[in-house]
Structure 1
């Protein structure tokens, strides 16, 4: 399974590490994904969602 939130679609980003000498090297920023069980239409399903979506779901329910 890809490193992508199944609710909002958040995925890895490509950034630069910038040194004091202004040298730039590529790095990846990964989303903070957690595996959680959600109940949808009476069925329990395990999904990978980001922590910001978990906080939003806790606020709504």
Structure 2
């Protein structure tokens, strides 16, 4: 699955968008994923990580 964070498993959320005239349509919210080089078990690997995990320091980025 491409739209899933490799750290926290945050994925696509679904719901209903309600307009001003109360017309209800289905919609999705996608996580803000970034493809980064991260150190996993001492090796540099490219993974999809959400920006919340990057900001909170849950990922050790490889340089």
Measured against the shorter chain, the TM-score band is 0.7 to 0.9
- The Cα of 1:5 is off from its aligned counterpart by 0.2
Per-residue displacement from partner, 1:26-58 (whole Å, max 9, x unpaired)? 011000000111112321000000000000117
Counterpart Cα distance in 2 of 1:39 and 1:33: 17
Tell me whether 35-44 or 46-55 shows the greater mean CA deviation.
35-44
Q: Which has the higher helix share?
A: 1
Please list every run of 5 or more consecutive structure 2 residues that lacks an aligned counterpart in the other structure. none
Matches within 5 A, 1:1-61: 1-57=1-57
User: How many residues are matched?
Assistant: 59
Q: Structure 1: where are the runs of 5+ without partners?
A: none
What is the CA-CA distance between 1:20 and the residue it aligns to?
Answer: 1.4
TM value normalised by structure 2: 0.83
Question: What's the RMSD between the two structures over aligned residues?
Answer: 1.7
